[in-house]
Amino acid sequence: IAEIQQRISELSTESARNISKKLKRQQRATFREFLTTLVDDEPPEETVQFRGGSLTVTSWREIVQLNFVRHCLQGGFQIQLMTNPTLQLVFGFDGAALSTFNGLSQVEKRLILSKGSEAAKMAHLDMTRKRRVRNNIKNHFLIADGDDI
């Protein structure tokens, strides 16, 4: 075990000229995690957060599975995790909890978040008023005697 720890320690600080900085940083971080697991006997932990919940994996096996599925699905990973029962079974994730998540409906989103909502209109009017005041202050010396500031 001491030999393995020594080799992983060397790999965690190794710098090769033939790989990019990003890959070197990623390699060092990975080997530091391996070393932490061996030396401190501390299991790794990775958390994936998404709308309505989060998934925490706490073993190397699950992290490798998670990274493989992420790589394969790329942009559709979170949607698949929320809707695919096979992935939920693999990661021990409860999809029923996600289906009870009540987000905003389309009408509520339109009323609250859209450009035509009352909040957006008020923010626009406020910004316009602040802009006008700022320009008046900046250009005041052109039209005033200087007595009223």
pLDDT in tens, the chain (149 residues): 677 778 777 776 766 677 788 888 888 888 788 888 878 877 788 888 877 678 888 888 888 888 899 899 988 888 888 788 888 888 887 766 655 555 667 777 777 778 888 888 999 999 999 999 999 888 877 776 655 55
Q: Which pLDDT belongs to residue 52?
A: 67
Q: Which amino acid is at 93?
A: F
DSSP letter at 144?
Answer: S
CA atoms of 87 and 62, how far apart (whole Å): 12
pLDDT of residue 5: 77
Q: What is the pLDDT of residue 126?
A: 95
Give the pLDDT confidence score for residue 25 in this predicted structure: 83
pLDDT value for 104: 67
Give the domain ranges of the chain: 1-42, 45-103, 106-143
Q: Label residue 57 exposed, middle or buried (CB < 10 Å: 0-12, 13-18, 19+).
A: buried
- Tell me which DSSP letter residue 37 carries: H
Query: Global pTM?
Result: 0.51
